[in-house]
Amino acid sequence: MTLSAWWRHAAIYELYVQSFADGDGDGIGDLAGVRARLPYLADLGIDAIWFSPWYPSPRSDAGYDVADYRSIDPAFGTLADADALIAEAHALGIRTIIDVVPNHCSDRHRWFQAALAAGSGSPERERFWFRPGRGPGGDLPPNDWRSIFGGPAWTRTTTPDGTPGEWYLHLFAPEQPDFNWASPQVRQEFEDILRFWFDRGVDGVRIDSAALLTKDPALPESEGPSPYTDRDDVHDIYRAWRTVADKYPDRVLIGEVWLPDAARLARYLRRDELHTVFNFPYLCCPWDAAELRAVIGSTLEFHAAASAPPTWVLSNHDVDRHVSRYGRNDTSFGLDRRDHSQPVDLDLGTRRARAAALLTMALPGAAYLYQGEELGLWEVEDIPDELRQDPIWHRTRGADPGRDGSRVPLPWSGLEPPFGFTTGEPWLPQPKEWRELTVEAQSAEAQPGSMLALYRRALRIRRAEFAAAAMTWLPAPGGVLAFDRGGVACVVNLSPAPVELPAGEILLASGPLSGDPVSGDRASGGLLPPDTSAWVRTVSR
């Protein structure tokens, strides 16, 4: 492992397959759609794609309910399509990362079907968490655990004669039974799955729900320390996975670890475990200079101690898009408090999202982009109830609006939905206002200040200027973040008043500078208005 390993400073694009581009007109994005749009991604300037799960799945949780880990969902294509896609991406200099979902599978997975058929006490059931119920007749679930998607975390089975049987554990939807990671077969199986994909040329793995895999075998009630979040024994799994990954050159293991405690998070980055983890404290942080500075500082600190590269992420398929978050009164985010009842100022949110993009792309380490953020898409909050798909919305009976609003298919071209996404009916409806946000509209020469143009330029400059440069904080007034990366200053103004920029050449600005109403990008000198960022070359080369 060298300090120049690609994943240490990559720009990684999260591609949510069913919403990216549809190649066959069924309204669901697919691998043919991705292959046709690879030149778009190469031109955007990203280094790698992370694909949301592409395996066969009944899609009770948008593919995070995997029925077969070694194949491709027929709605997306075939294994041969995936092989071709991996090769074509490589030819364009783009690496591929797949999503591995080890906490649970689909209830249609052959192991779970076999477990249901084999009955209680069978070795087949040992790969999951089957338990008798409590109370008279076993009518009560084995313990009080709640599903992360709402409702109890246990569902009762029915025996072949129609009588109620044992219960099984699912931390997410009932269609997502949890694996029992104490089973050597489960461990063996996932190590084989990693090899299967590494052998096919994938460059990395994003590990879904990475902190939840192991459970307290006594299955105690949920009061006190969590019996399933971030247990010490989960790390044995990642040590074994690292041994597998290290047999291949340049592969990366990326953990989806939602933990507020930096010290606990850092444990996943130990030398013989994962290479990187997502930085959710940064994503959840409000648009506030002091709070952002604190999160950035603590991120840098604990990653330096772990000799791991920091990562930066503003949006993904589980959270409200940041254009909307930053346009609300409360600009912070929490998975357990999605709130679509607040008014959203989209102009303000977009201005801040542009500024945040330059902040994110100037920070040292890897940056994650979620498809559509380069177009400035917002959270679609008004999807009709009957079209909503997210189990969170269904299981909370709408109390939690869920995640569909961040998963709406991309607008590519044209003036009407489906905006070139499909020739059919998109699986979620697109707002008609997105006609101004299509790739086509934002690529027009008359739109040099579009969000897409900003991302293209920022990614190019990032690659050329920032890859290896150290970061140093610069003195700045209250409400302003300023730091240097190898002679380029990144200044972000979160205060309500304009601030003076350092002298130098303005490489890029997220919006017009005061005194130059024409174009932020080409402006030079002057004042940086509120909610705006700029990259300024302060040391001539």
Contact residues for ligand GLC, defined by CB under 6 A: 61, 64, 101, 172, 208-209, 256, 317-318
Q: Report residue 337 as tokens.
A: 């408090």
Q: Which is nearer to ligand GLC, 125 or 170 (CB)?
A: 170
Decide: helix, strand or coil at residue 295.
Answer: helix
Q: Which is nearer to ligand GLC, 166 or 208 (CB)?
A: 208
Residue 130's H or E segment, with its range, is strand 130-131
Q: Which is nearer to ligand GLC, 30 or 61 (CB)?
A: 61
Distance in angstroms (rounded) separating the CA atoms of residues 312 and 329:
23
Rounded to the nearest whole angstrom, what is the least distance from the CB of residue 212 to ligand GLC in the complex? 9
- Is 385 labeled as catalytic in the residue annotation? no
Q: Which is nearer to ligand GLC, 101 or 314 (CB)?
A: 101
Rounded to the nearest whole angstrom, what is the least distance from the CB of residue 64 to ligand GLC in the complex? 3
Q: Are 176 and 64 in contact (CB under 8 A)?
A: yes
- Is 256 labeled as catalytic in the residue annotation? yes
Rounded to the nearest whole angstrom, what is the least distance from the CB of residue 101 to ligand GLC in the complex? 6
Q: Which is nearer to ligand GLC, 57 or 96 (CB)?
A: 57
Q: Pick left, alpha or beta for residue 108 (phi over 0 → left; psi -120 to 50 → alpha; otherwise beta).
A: alpha
Q: Which is nearer to ligand GLC, 61 or 379 (CB)?
A: 61
Distance in angstroms (rounded) separating the CA atoms of residues 353 and 437:
14
Rounded to the nearest whole angstrom, what is the least distance from the CB of residue 256 to ligand GLC in the complex? 6
b/e burial code for range 248-269 (CB count within 10 A of at least 16 → b)? eeebbbbbbbbbeeeeebbbbb
Distance in angstroms (rounded) separating the CA atoms of residues 177 and 172:
8
Distance in angstroms (rounded) separating the CA atoms of residues 229 and 478:
38
Rounded to the nearest whole angstrom, what is the least distance from the CB of residue 318 to ligand GLC in the complex? 5
ω into 418 cis (within 30 of 0): yes
Out of 47, 175, 208, 374, pick the active-site residue.
208
Rounded to the nearest whole angstrom, what is the least distance from the CB of residue 61 to ligand GLC in the complex? 5
Decide: helix, strand or coil at residue 383.
Answer: coil
Distance in angstroms (rounded) separating the CA atoms of residues 412 and 417:
10
Q: Which is nearer to ligand GLC, 61 or 465 (CB)?
A: 61
Rounded to the nearest whole angstrom, what is the least distance from the CB of residue 153 to ligand GLC in the complex? 13
Residues near 293 by beta carbon (within 8 Å), at least 6 away in sequence:
481
Sheet strands side by side (includes 532-537)? 471-473, 480-485, 488-493, 532-537, 505-509
State the residue number with the nearest CB to ligand GLC.
64
Residues near 464 by beta carbon (within 8 Å), at least 6 away in sequence:
none
Q: Which is nearer to ligand GLC, 61 or 400 (CB)?
A: 61
Counting other chains too, the contacts that 452-457 makes at CB distance below 8 Å and 24 or more residues apart are 452/44, 452/374, 452/375, 452/376, 453/521, 454/354, 454/357, 454/358, 454/508, 454/510, 454/521, 455/44, 455/45, 455/357, 455/369, 455/373, 455/374, 456/43, 456/44, 456/45, 457/508, 457/521
Distance in angstroms (rounded) separating the CA atoms of residues 422 and 239:
42
Rounded to the nearest whole angstrom, what is the least distance from the CB of residue 525 to ligand GLC in the complex? 44
Q: Report residue 119 as tokens.
A: 């009955």
Out of 61, 256, 404, 531, pick the active-site residue.
256
Q: Are 312 and 282 in contact (CB under 8 A)?
A: yes
List, by residue number, the catalytic residues.
208, 256
